[in-house]
Structure 1
Amino acid sequence: MALRGTNQETGRPYNRRIVLESIRLHGPMTRGDVAQRVGLTVQTVSTIVRELEEQGLILSVQKPPKGRGIPPSTLTINPDGGLSVGIHVTPLGIEAALVNLRGDVVDNVRRDVMNATPQEAFSFIRDMVTQLMASPRCGRLLGAGLALPGPFDVESMSFVGSTTMTGWKNIDIRQHLADATGLPAFIENDMAAAALGEQLYGLGQQVSNYYYLFFSVGLGGAMMHDGTVMGGAWGNAGEIGHIPAVPDGEPCPCGNRGCLERYLSLDAFERRGLPADEWVSEVAPFFRNAIRTIENLFDPETIVLGGLAPQPLLHQLATLVEGLDNSISARAHRALPRVVMASDCQHSALRGAAALALFGVLSPRHGQMFETLEKGNAE
């Protein structure tokens, strides 16, 4: 994946992220290597590296000389330089994890609570984060990121029906998260968070344009383009679950009939009550049409299949790649199949939520990060 920076002053937050990611993915590397890889000047990279070093996010290692002259120091990520709290709230439960700068889940807790109200959820989150903070593996905390079902800010569709969280309308989720954790707080829909998690810690290290098909209680997805989630005008791009699949079909909580997720989702699987192999055979036409639609709309290098569904069920769906209908992605010479399994189906959204916090606090808009880290270092 090509990580490219920008020399515009307004691009400083992005540049910090790109430099940090480049070092994480390709380190140890010199400042000159970083500058060449991300397309920034050595001076700009050196300024960013100095800031990241001061905050303990990266390490500079001086190799012993092998001959005349002193070799340039190399940079590597400091996995213990900080932790983010990733939280994933779904109709099936709540999970929270400590994630280090390398993307490792170092500790996690889960509460199996069905359709938690905001009051219940944030009470659980407060207790779970307190438990994680007491973990011997907990270190310096940078922030908290929360992933939960979307779409957001759509009056007729947000937090409506069995596939989403009820009772969450008109709730200041970010403020509740900040209050519950005492940390800088960031939120995203779980589809986009999962796509980000895959980009940072999975297949996204090899490809730059893919669609993450998030198979959960509902069905959704997000398109990753050149390392960035395509959000759309209101941050809800990729809602494949609400495209019409069956004319005058099953009523959907969104108010329409025949939406795809009424037939192709974990909720649909459980309502149908069939053995997995029979159900997969039954929904094969819906799955293949969905793949073709995504391909013709977004032209991805591949479609990554992940989500909260049991791994065996996702694997069975992935086998339907054989016999896919024709689309603009039906090419003879492909580096990857048209559909691949996510690298970490169960934790993609969780790790993506943690990454939201990391990248969020790197932004000058959240300058408290640098003040907080300096205070913590002084203490």
Structure 2
Amino acid sequence: MALRGTNQEFGRPYNRRIVLESVRRFGPIARGDIARHVGLTVQTVSTIVRELEEQGYILSVREEPKGRGLPPATLRINPDGGYAVGIHLTPLGIDAALINLSGDVVEDAHRSAPNAAPDDAFEAIGAMVSEMTRRRPGSRVIGIGMALPGPFGVEPMSFVGPTTMVGWRDVLLRERLSAATGLPAFFENDMAAAAMGERLYGFGAKHSEYYYLYFGVGLGGAMLHDGSVLRGAWGNAGEIGHIPVVPGGEPCPCGNRGCLERYISLDARSRWSGDDTGWVAEVAPVFRNAIAIIENLFDPETIVLGGLASPALLERLAASLEPLLNSVSARKDRTTPRILVAQGGQHAVLRGAAALAVSGVLSPRFGQIFTAKRQRDGDLLKGGDIAA
């Protein structure tokens, strides 16, 4: 989405978020370059930058002169100018992290809570957030993002089976999360959150068109196009785990038989009686076919294997794919391997969830929502300090 300012009445909070988002995405960056990016005057940008510096969101840095005259000051995000909370809810438990504006995990917490009911989960999340933020007294928390298994809003598939949580149908996720923590709240499916975390802090920072294959309790995926996750009409694109691949195969909780995640997922691994090596050898032919399907459908620069599986298991799975089948990705001129193992590790989901909160509060889209609700909500950029 293009970053463009507005001259409309009450547009100041929106423009402030536009400028901050530009610094976050393109910094270090000069004031004049920001003005060209967002379509505002340099004077307007300078006024907003001064406010953001005073509020501690951005830093102005001037390099040492290399010749005559002073080089222009450039702006960058202040890593400690604010924090966001990332939450990952799975059938196994709850993970949480407090993450600064540079994506560094500064505090984390875990609760073992198998198949937690909504009331218990939100109570635990509230306690975990309080526990982490007490360690950073006086700091500012911008918002909270939660990742959990999808798909959402699909009657025969949502919140059923071993990959999802019983009793979570029709739960008002955003409202409950905000009520439990007192923070602006956002949510996303875990595979999209992990893909965004990898885009920001892993291989994805070097690629704009890649497919992230997410190994969780189930199996999902997300195509990153021009740096953004392809969502689909209802936000459920990427449920590759529910593609039937074995005719008359194992029954799946979704109602079909032979779905891919019945063979390739952490749940499938848990049902295998042997060791990792034996399981990988058993599922390799199905997995190899799945990779060819993904490549032919999306033509990605590369496929990144990530999620909750251990790096060692992901490396074994990647090795089992050789020789890869022919597909549109079998190009002689390619400079990136067809398969990569994610760098972000298991923190990728938490970083992606936290980034969702940062983008949700600071992005132009949120700015538009904020402007429409200005009389009721106040300015979130000025509030949100952690209670000591």
- TM-score between both structures, scaled by the size of structure 1: 0.90
Task: Tell me which amino acid in the other structure corresponds to 1:22.
Answer: F
Distance 1:104 1:331 in 2: 36
Question: Which residue of structure 2 aligns with residue 123 of structure 1?
Answer: 123
Deviation per CA, 1:54-76: give whole Å up to 9, x if none. 54221112446566544311112
- The size of the alignment, in residue pairs, is 370
User: In the alignment, is the contact (CA less than 8 A) between 2:5 and 2:38 conserved in 1?
Assistant: no
User: In the alignment, is the contact (CA less than 8 A) between 2:191 and 2:220 conserved in 1?
Assistant: yes
Distance 1:18 1:345 in 2: 27
- What displacement does 1:376 show? 6.3
Residue number among 18, 22, 26 corresponding to 1:22 in the alignment: 26
Q: Which consecutive residues of structure 2, in runs of 5 or more, have no partner in the other structure?
A: none
Question: Which residue of structure 2 aligns with residue 175 of structure 1?
Answer: 175
User: In the alignment, is the contact (CA less than 8 A) between 1:5 and 1:15 conserved in 2?
Assistant: no
Distance 1:53 1:225 in 2: 33
Structure-2 change in CA distance of 1:299 and 1:109 (3 Å): same
- What displacement does 1:139 show? 1.9
User: In the alignment, is the contact (CA less than 8 A) between 1:84 and 1:357 conserved in 2?
Assistant: yes
User: In the alignment, is the contact (CA less than 8 A) between 2:115 and 2:166 conserved in 1?
Assistant: yes
Distance 1:312 1:134 in 2: 35
Is residue 102 of structure 2 the alignment partner of residue 102 of structure 1? yes
Deviation per CA, 1:291-344: give whole Å up to 9, x if none. 111111111111111011122111101113421101101111222111101112
Distance 2:110 2:60 in 1: 37
Question: Which residue of structure 2 aligns with residue 333 of structure 1?
Answer: 333
Q: Secondary structure at the match of 2:314?
A: helix
Structure-2 change in CA distance of 1:48 and 1:293 (3 Å): farther
Distance 1:45 1:94 in 2: 41
Task: Tell me which amino acid in the other structure corresponds to 1:250.
Answer: E
Q: Secondary structure at the match of 2:192?
A: helix
- TM-score between both structures, scaled by the size of structure 2: 0.88
Structure-2 change in CA distance of 1:304 and 1:35 (3 Å): farther
User: In the alignment, is the contact (CA less than 8 A) between 2:216 and 2:309 conserved in 1?
Assistant: yes
Q: Secondary structure at the match of 1:250?
A: coil
- What displacement does 1:47 show? 6.8
Task: Tell me which amino acid in the other structure corresponds to 1:260.
Answer: L
Q: Secondary structure at the match of 2:236?
A: coil
After the TM superposition, which of the residue ranges 133-142 and 274-283 deviates more from structure 2? 133-142
Q: Secondary structure at the match of 1:212?
A: strand
Task: Tell me which amino acid in the other structure corresponds to 2:130.
Answer: T
Task: Tell me which amino acid in the other structure corresponds to 2:131.
Answer: Q
Task: Tell me which amino acid in the other structure corresponds to 1:165.
Answer: M
Task: Tell me which amino acid in the other structure corresponds to 2:114.
Answer: M
Q: Which consecutive residues of structure 1, in runs of 5 or more, have no partner in the other structure?
A: none
User: In the alignment, is the contact (CA less than 8 A) between 1:31 and 1:42 conserved in 2?
Assistant: no
Question: Which residue of structure 2 aligns with residue 251 of structure 1?
Answer: 251
Structure-2 change in CA distance of 1:128 and 1:323 (3 Å): same
Task: Tell me which amino acid in the other structure corresponds to 1:87.
Answer: I
Give the % identical residues.
59
User: In the alignment, is the contact (CA less than 8 A) between 1:96 and 1:109 conserved in 2?
Assistant: yes
Structure-2 change in CA distance of 1:304 and 1:204 (3 Å): same
Q: Secondary structure at the match of 1:284?
A: helix
Question: Which residue of structure 1 aligns with residue 311 of structure 2?
Answer: 311
User: In the alignment, is the contact (CA less than 8 A) between 2:94 and 2:112 conserved in 1?
Assistant: yes
Is residue 106 of structure 2 the alignment partner of residue 86 of structure 1? no
Question: Which residue of structure 2 aligns with residue 359 of structure 1?
Answer: 359
Question: Which residue of structure 2 aligns with residue 206 of structure 1?
Answer: 206
Task: Tell me which amino acid in the other structure corresponds to 1:5.
Answer: A
User: In the alignment, is the contact (CA less than 8 A) between 1:98 and 1:138 conserved in 2?
Assistant: no
- What displacement does 1:117 show? 1.2
Is residue 163 of structure 2 the alignment partner of residue 156 of structure 1? no
User: In the alignment, is the contact (CA less than 8 A) between 2:248 and 2:258 conserved in 1?
Assistant: yes
Distance 1:225 1:18 in 2: 20
Deviation per CA, 1:244-294: give whole Å up to 9, x if none. 110111110001111100011000011012210111011001111111111
After the TM superposition, which of the residue ranges 238-247 and 330-339 deviates more from structure 2? 330-339
Question: Which residue of structure 1 aligns with residue 165 of structure 2?
Answer: 165
User: In the alignment, is the contact (CA less than 8 A) between 2:141 and 2:384 conserved in 1?
Assistant: no
Structure-2 change in CA distance of 1:80 and 1:253 (3 Å): same
Is residue 201 of structure 2 the alignment partner of residue 191 of structure 1? no
Task: Tell me which amino acid in the other structure corresponds to 1:171.
Answer: V
Task: Tell me which amino acid in the other structure corresponds to 1:306.
Answer: G
- What displacement does 1:224 show? 0.8
Is residue 140 of structure 2 the alignment partner of residue 132 of structure 1? no
- What displacement does 1:348 show? 0.7
Q: Secondary structure at the match of 1:127?
A: helix
User: In the alignment, is the contact (CA less than 8 A) between 2:19 and 2:49 conserved in 1?
Assistant: no
Is residue 269 of structure 2 the alignment partner of residue 262 of structure 1? no
Q: Secondary structure at the match of 1:188?
A: strand
Residue number among 5, 8, 17 corresponding to 2:2 in the alignment: 5
Structure-2 change in CA distance of 1:336 and 1:352 (3 Å): same
Answer 1 or 2: higher relative contact order, Cα 8 Å, separation at least 6: 2
User: In the alignment, is the contact (CA less than 8 A) between 1:212 and 1:221 conserved in 2?
Assistant: yes
User: In the alignment, is the contact (CA less than 8 A) between 1:221 and 1:240 conserved in 2?
Assistant: yes
